[in-house]
Structure 1
Amino acid sequence: MTTVICPYCFARGPAHRLRYRCLMTRSGVRGGRQPCSPRRDDAWAEFKGGTAAPQARMRGPVFDVRRTLGPGGNRAACPDCGVLTPVRVCASCHSDLPSDYCDQDSRIIALVGAKATGKSTYVTVLVNELRHRVGTAYRGALAAMGSDTQRRDKEMAAELYDRLHLPGATPPAALGFNEPLLYRLSLPSAGRFGDGSRHTALVFFDAAGEDLGDAAAVDRYTDYLAAADGIILLVDPLQLPAVREELPPGEGPPLPRMETSPQQIAADIAGQLRGHGRRGARGRVSTPLAVALTKTDMVRPLLPPQSPLLRNARHDGGAFDDVDRIAVHEEVRSLLEGWDGGELHRRLDRDFADVSFFGLSALGSPPPATAPADVPKSGPQPVRVEDPLLWLLTRRGLLPVRKAKEGPVGKAKEGLVRKAKEGMTRGGGT
């Protein structure tokens, strides 16, 4: 049985119990009845809050069915006008759901971080990489679901890749509801009758940095975070005092304003999730957390020449390389320890049961110093943007994992990881 999680209010339920919305179109079915008239949809309007205009409350009637009808199997006939409709809606908030969203299990990925950490840029580049370089490696495909995501997907890609402009800041929740981005990820799945495909709905919700400044603001996103299969916490190294002191002065674009610390954001998120029943062993949150150090291109002078953060993972054989992940984890952990005295790592170790560190660059090089809102003229050349998401997908069994093998080859790989750990420990944040 397929379980559907509403990407808007995060109510959970079986797909066959979703309601339908009438299209209000004329049809010759059942004697050519008159099309339905719009009706007040107070459930949807109340969920939207102040963003719903009075006239917008008038929408197609919502109705229940015991089973789906029609040749497609996913359509139902309106009991009043008889017209078949494919539009399914959430039984709780009455938000319209893309038809293909309801046909596979959902994986909600929570994307959080302080203001100016580059969340919107990260999502745009991540989607592009999943469609091209990473999609090729894993024989996967990614498609936007629903007209809203399809429109925004095109706009985001055009702004970043065609016009070479960085996206604007995500509006805070006080200015209106931030719609999620819905994608269908298709991956190969070997079955009894040959190779098949396995489909997963990915939901990206970009929370504005201003909404993560204190515990009261995080409360707006509690349902979203509690429903998440994994959380990606973006950490901007340029907002860490030690990094700002170490970087060569007068080089690159202006430094961003220092916002809420990642330690505080992590603590607030953990507190909210524990209160929502996501408590695991020893009281730690059970939701996997990927902590990603962003803008590694800006701290390249502080990285050792052999750093794995300077190159993309290879993804040989369409499998996630866990040995490579461990090497990256240890290096980022060591860098952060040198910059904040290990405060973030200790905070996460106390609050979360499953944490991994990553480092990435969405652009590959800094924006022009004279035009900090622009993308480098060469366009985005990302490094390791996919790693946090792929790791979260492995935690749900959606991707194969290549671990260190037993024997001489495996021991050699483990030795390289151990040497990397020791080198990072001696080098600290230099």
Structure 2
Amino acid sequence: MHIAPLSPDDPSELGGYELLGRIGQGGMGQVYLGESPGGEPAAVKVIKPGVVDSGTRLRFAQEVEILKTVWGARVAALLDADPEADPPWLATEYVEGLDLSRHVGRHGPLDSLLTASLGATLAEALASVHKQGLLHRDLKPANVLLGPNGPKVIDFGLAVFAESSVSLTAADTVVGTPSCMPPEQANGEKPLTPAVDVYALGAVLLFAASGHAPYRADNIHLLFHQVVDPTIAPDLSGAPEELVPLLAAMLAHRAEDRPTLNDVVRRCRALIEAQGLKVAQARRRLTNHTAAPAHVLDDLLAVAPPVAAGPSAREQGRTARVPTDAAPGRPEAKTPAGESARQKPGVAVPPMPPVQVPPTDPRLLLARVDAPTPSSADSTPASTTAGREPTEGATAPDDVRSSVPPAGRGRVSGDDSSVRRRSRRHSAQARITAQRLREAYAASTPF
């Protein structure tokens, strides 16, 4: 996730929220990553001073009032707001993760199973919003955030009450995102119905599965023409075959021909179950596939701990060794300095500050017990010096394996078989000790 630094003109604090960086912007406002006095992260939206007027304040106040009425597990919650402040601002729940547009651009389209799971989740979320008497009106890939607990819908700035035909926009002005806008909204029809969000969700799912919108054109005028022309069908190329019937129905030109959101949930469930999974299993797969590493925000907000004397590995341009989940005695994975070995491929993670390892680090303790004897299930290379231990008082090297002969070796007397039996018992205990220490290290590691 890209978070740009604050500019000299940016405020450092708004409404008690410390501003830490920029996470998005538009023609009307700027969105910052903020932190409450108690440490709660938030997305703080601010209207740009150059566009603040009575009409803008009125629209912003309407957005705040709408957000107060919207709730649900899949909707980013309103935390606080002050539309009368200078500048007006609001703070919503911060969802740590990429939006759908950036995720598809970085990792490619989702398969049919994950797209169906996304469809069921978002359709249920929108149905909950509709029960509260609201329409989103601007659902698009950039307004779907893929967080660590699943996708969430954001930006209700264009939301309206479903029964209302009143608008704060100027006459003959269409507001929204043309690539995901249904024909009736593009034509300026009022009042709008829940079918507008069904169409937009269909456009979002098509993008998730294929990487493109229903209509594509070189300029906005041609794009509007394609959207409102009933003779031009949406482009469903690239979508998985099993999803095409559902997408075609959701993107129907006439609102009355589109399925309800409950029908969308039911059909997505059927697609998931046809592949032998339950909906909850498919959602877990979706979250595991799309969620950013859970430590990203911690890295961004962390205060650097004291650094050991001497140049760090990063300063010297070397690689740092990062413990992995491999069994004790295996070589540790080498990654660029500051990166976590658990980082997902393709996800950019800010470099971590060098950390001073305390003397009680489990890796130091591991060097003072016998290395585990490889089992049949162990894939440790033959060159691993299993069964060796460092001499008493030796310090642990970077790699937890030790090539130092055990203290006292060569001075053992007595029955060899008895010694071997004691050695096997000792090795079994060492494996248990090493496993516990490894688990303790994994629980306390900062990455």
Query: TM-score with structure 1 length normalisation?
Result: 0.21
Q: Which has the higher contact order (CA 8 A, sep 6+)?
A: 1
Query: TM-score with structure 2 length normalisation?
Result: 0.20
Name the larger-Rg structure: 2
Structure with bigger strand share is 1
